[in-house]
Amino acid sequence: MTSPDRLSLYLDRLGLEHAPPASAEGLATLQAAHRERIPFENLDVRLGRPPAIDSDAVFGKLVTRRRGGYCFEHNRLFSDMLAMLGIPNRPLLARVRLGVAPDETPPRTHVLLLAQIDGAPWIADAGFGGSYVPPLPLRDGASVRTGDGAAHRLRRIGEAGDPGGEWLLERAGDAGATDGRAGPQADWQAQYGFDLLPVVQADLDQCNHWTATRPATRFTTLHVVSIALPDGFASLTEQALKVHRGGVLHEAVLAGPDDYHRCLAGQFHLDLDREDLARLPLFSKAMRR
């Protein structure tokens, strides 16, 4: 499949009729559409299938098969599509700070992108599952608001090579418009820290393997799905659904496999076949009875 064909299919997956321009506005449009149409999810990990993160694999899964994925998949696809649109970019590794004690240094389990727009560096992230993270210019104090009413900002917190990170992304807003890991307060909270050191494919492969296989972590013990909404956020952790729209939070507990399947398709644009649904640890025992 040629690059133009892939770009056309990707834009169709996002519901976009035309490719946005290679500008800050175009980057924001594309990233919002990506995050509102392709869900964040770890269901392959729970099915015992560690995700492949090469370009062909992620395109086949997220676009052709209309599945979702986690950060290593989303941002591989997003990186490829940005390059096709004429936006140079490269990966960066980050340490997620949500739910982590201030004195703890978590591992690098998140990938984002450093993009170049008109010669200036921007961060771009189509694969953060905790909330919607908009593109931001890589500048100390840069900030922006999103459709859920939250503010986001970048702070320069260290030097290159500092274990805690060179940059910190923070969010201030309603905790309801997150996947539940944010604290209840609405003031600034750390999302993740990162540096600008070069990242090669072997680094991504190693981090992806650790994230998909390490026992007793969020991704190997829980079923998680999330998606950004134009004015909010929706998340599904195990059978607990939270939908935050226009400042109002709705919560529900899905009764069983049929409700779960309908919710994946309707709320999250996620096409999970019935065989995989039956094999999820969340339901496999009940469905064998």
- How far, CA to CA in Å, does 201 sit from each of 10, 55, 136, 197, 206? 23, 11, 24, 13, 9
Annotated catalytic residue, options 44, 125, 148, 179: 125
Answer yes or no: are the C-beta atoms of 238 and 252 closer than 8 Å.
no
Answer yes or no: are the C-beta atoms of 89 and 241 closer than 8 Å.
no
| Token pair for 7 | 């770009």
* DSSP structural state of residue 21: P
> Which ranges in the chain belong to alpha helices (H)?
3-14, 24-37, 43-46, 55-59, 71-84, 201-213, 218-221, 257-268, 274-279, 284-288
Annotated catalytic residue, options 44, 74, 80, 110: 110
Residues 73, 262, 176: CA angle, nearest 5 degrees: 65
What angle, rounded to 10 degrees, do the helices at 71-84 and 201-213 form? 150
125 a catalytic residue? yes
Alpha-carbon span 72 to 204, nearest angstrom: 7
Answer yes or no: are the C-beta atoms of 96 and 106 closer than 8 Å.
yes
What angle, rounded to 10 degrees, do the helices at 24-37 and 3-14 form? 70
Annotated catalytic residue, options 71, 152, 174, 223: 71
110 a catalytic residue? yes
Closest among 208, 56, 23, 37 to 124, alpha carbons compared? 23
- SS3 labels along 261-272: HHHHHHHHCCCC
List active site positions: 71, 110, 125
